[in-house]
Amino acid sequence: MRLTRLRRRLEPIIRPLLHFYWRWSRGATLGARALVIDGSGRIFLVKHSYVDGWHLPGGGVETGETMLSALTRELAEEGNIRLTATPVLHGIFFNKRISRRDHVALYIVREFHQDAPPRPNREIVDHGFFALGALPEDVSRGTRARIAEVFNGAAVSELW
């Protein structure tokens, strides 16, 4: 628990340093996230060790990797989730809160298999499927916006 608190305290320092490095090593950064919806209409969310709040699972697209392969890898790592059909692309969003060069692709995943819940690890400290009316209070702003777009018909924004 102390390590988790330390990571969260250092995150505002570490993130800008990493983005400074990425500015010179990469022209832009790209992420792939998923709105994973189970048969009961619940949404899978994760809580990271290095940033506050609940988020949609996903992560960075590595050099030489497609968005879909990155999403597949991240879902397996963060949620023990295996895709059983091709997910639907919901949109690509500019994530200016992170960097002037960061974009996030969001996929809708309805067909998947999770044979066992994931084990918490150094990156993911908590996870779960949540009903729309029972989301944790500290769901991130971007996550809430994407949920509203998909479930409530809110206008799709270009911004994460």
- pLDDT surpassing 90 at residue 99: no
Reported in sequence order, the residue ranges of the chain that DSSP labels E, i.e. its strands, are: 29-36, 43-48, 54-55, 58-60, 82-83, 88-94, 102-109, 112-113, 124-130
Angle, vertex CA 111, rays to CA 109 and CA 87, nearest 5: 40
Residue 143 belongs to a domain with what CATH number? 3.90.79.10
Domain assignment present for 130 = yes
Q: What is the pTM of this model?
A: 0.82
Per-residue pLDDT tens digits for 43-97: 999 999 989 999 999 999 998 999 999 999 999 999 999 999 999 999 999 988 7
- pLDDT surpassing 70 at residue 18: no
The tally of domains found in the chain comes to: 1
Give me the pLDDT at residue 96, please: 82
Domain coverage including residue 90: 2-152
Per-residue pLDDT tens digits for 42-52: 999 999 998 99
